[in-house]
């Protein structure tokens, strides 16, 4: 009888230990599971750091800020790739774990992503003395992460600063998508307007010479792509004489307004770069003269030969 009781007791203890181990194993596995999945179905990304926040939303194939300005798809893809490959070195348990968990929830960067099916992924990230911490909401433990080149890049930038996400592309247009182009120079005789309707392209200006619409048609191909070489925050010492205003209206209704200036370097006019102001985003930047030269034409360019 005693033998049966002892056997039953051993079996019972074994079952308790088994389920305890299984439960703890599941908890630990859940704590280590930080990787985002289904990132290609994400439609919105919310980033909060301190009192600052930022939202990025997907519309079609493009990502944009909540003010409608397009952001760099490359940077969005980099963030998604980093979050889908988070690699845990070890979890932090005990008092140290509690301290880090409270800290990361208070001062860390919270990233929340939502998909079309209203599925939500959320993670807190923090870097402290070159140690990377991560925490999933409602998880038992925070974790120490392995470092990576992507992590170095992400943590070295202010993720809630819209300027970090902004695309350097000024425009990327197909000829067929352009409704009109208005180029305004200081001399009215240099200015011109090109309109496109029902595949008919017409160029007009104040000059008396006959203008060639075929030249205007090929000119519109030059708007396929233009991007900034770099952004500039202070322009007081590098702004030269204003050259022209360029306005482009797409058939979709979207407008692009860009002002071109001479770019001064040490007081001298640069021969290789121009300064630009993007009206809708109030940004300043520099473009290569070689890249923009085919666009900066005057009315005389369209005179019929």
Contact call for residues 258 and 279 (beta carbons, < 8 A): yes
Tell which residue, 297, 222, 233, 218, has the closest CA to residue 260: 297
Confidence at residue 23, expressed as pLDDT on a 0 to 100 scale: 42
How far is it, in rounded angstroms, from Cα 135 to Cα 97?
A: 10
3-state secondary structure of 289: helix
How many whole angstroms from its chain centre is CA 206?
42
Three-state secondary structure of 214-257: HHHHHHHHHHHCEECCEEECCCCCCEEEEEEEEEEEECCCCEEE
Contact call for residues 223 and 295 (beta carbons, < 8 A): yes
How far is it, in rounded angstroms, from Cα 111 to Cα 123?
A: 6
* pLDDT mean by block of 10 residues, the chain; 305 residues: 55 48 43 78 93 90 81 89 90 90 91 86 89 88 86 84 83 93 96 92 95 96 91 88 96 93 94 90 88 95 94
Residue 265: strand pairing partners: 268
How many whole angstroms from its chain centre is CA 281?
14
Confidence at residue 221, expressed as pLDDT on a 0 to 100 scale: 95
Query: Phi/psi of residue 170, each to 5°?
Result: -80, -45
Confidence at residue 233, expressed as pLDDT on a 0 to 100 scale: 79
How far is it, in rounded angstroms, from Cα 270 to Cα 237?
A: 13
Contact call for residues 145 and 132 (beta carbons, < 8 A): yes
Q: Round to the nearest angstrom and report the end-to-end CA distance of the chain.
A: 116
Contact call for residues 300 and 264 (beta carbons, < 8 A): no
- What is the b/e burial string over 138-159, where b = at least 16 CB atoms within 10 angstroms of the residue's CB? ebebbbebeeeeebeebeeeeb
List the structure tokens of 39. Answer: 């990132």
How far is it, in rounded angstroms, from Cα 205 to Cα 192?
A: 5
DSSP annotation of 43 reads E
């Amino acid at each position: 009888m005693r033998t049966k009781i002892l056997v039953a007791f051993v079996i019972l203890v074994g079952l308790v230990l088994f389920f305890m181990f299984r439960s703890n194993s599941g908890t630990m596995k859940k704590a280590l599971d930080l990787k985002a999945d289904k990132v290609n179905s994400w439609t919105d990304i919310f980033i909060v750091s301190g009192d600052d926040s930022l939202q990025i939303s997907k519309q079609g194939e493009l990502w944009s800020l909540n003010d409608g300005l397009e952001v760099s798809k490359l940077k969005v893809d980099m963030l998604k790739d980093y979050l889908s490959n988070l690699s845990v070195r070890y979890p932090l348990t005990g008092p140290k774990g509690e301290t880090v968990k409270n800290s990361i929830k208070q001062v860390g960067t919270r990233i929340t992503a939502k998909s079309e099916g209203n599925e939500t992924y959320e993670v807190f990230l923090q870097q402290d003395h070159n140690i990377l911490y991560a925490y999933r909401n409602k998880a038992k433990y925070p974790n120490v992460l392995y470092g990576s080149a992507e992590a170095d890049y992400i943590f070295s930038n202010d993720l809630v600063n819209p300027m970090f996400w902004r695309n350097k592309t000024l425009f990327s247009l197909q000829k067929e998508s352009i409704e009109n182009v208005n180029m305004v120079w200081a001399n009215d005789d240099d200015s011109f307007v090109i309109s496109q309707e029902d595949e008919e392209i017409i160029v007009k200006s104040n000059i008396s010479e006959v203008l060639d619409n075929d030249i205007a048609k090929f000119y519109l191909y030059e708007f396929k792509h233009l991007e900034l070489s770099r952004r500039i925050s202070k322009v007081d010492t590098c702004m030269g004489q204003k050259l022209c205003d360029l306005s482009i209206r797409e058939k979709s209704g979207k407008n692009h307004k860009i002002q071109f200036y001479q770019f001064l370097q040490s007081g001298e006019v640069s021969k290789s770069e121009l300064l630009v102001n993007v009206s809708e985003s109030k940004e300043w930047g520099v473009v290569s003269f070689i890249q923009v030269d085919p666009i900066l034409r005057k009315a005389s360019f369209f005179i019929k030969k």
